Amino acid sequence: MPKRHLVAEMAIYRQGFSIPPDDISKVHEFLAAIWDENVHVPSRDQSSIETAIIELTTNIILYSEATSGITCQIVIEIDNENVHAAITDNGDLADLEIDEHIMPDEFAESGRGIPLVRALVDEFSYENRDGENTWKISRKIQA
């Protein structure tokens, strides 16, 4: 008997942002609509992914080297076991080493963004190619 392959059901969401006029609230709106459709994702996982995406988007806005507005695209994939997100932007941060960013001491007023993302997700990668950044995160959905 041939082996049966079970293909997990996957939902994919994709949205582009132009900053300005878009801002961080547009990203929250995009995610809120996704969570409304995916109530099987526990709130802790929703919060973790949302916080990580907002941190990365904030990072893009604050440190972008794009000269004529920031464009970014967020793709979210949700299956029964994981939430994956990929953010691509035109900000050109080629020298960023995410592994070198450690959580600062409690009295620091900045520098927590990248370490917080790492604490929120199971997988985190960053790549710069031809002036375009791609940030990928994924988190296992808690049973």
How far apart are CB 95 and other proteins at their closest, in Å?
21
Q: Do 121 and 108 contact (CB within 8 A), yes or no?
A: no
Distance CA 90, CA 107 (A): 32
How far apart are CB 80 and other proteins at their closest, in Å?
23
| Nearest in space to 119 (alpha carbons), one of 136, 103, 143 | 103
Q: Could you give phi then psi for residue 19, rounded to 5 degrees? A: -115, 120
Which CB, 47 or 80, lies closer to other proteins?
Answer: 47
Binding site for other proteins (CB under 8 A): 23-25, 28, 43-44, 47-48, 50-51, 54-55, 58, 61-62, 103, 106-110, 112-113, 115-116, 119-120
Helix axes of 113-120 and 43-63: crossing angle, nearest 10 degrees? 150
Which CB, 47 or 131, lies closer to other proteins?
Answer: 47
How far apart are CB 8 and other proteins at their closest, in Å?
27
How far apart are CB 51 and other proteins at their closest, in Å?
6
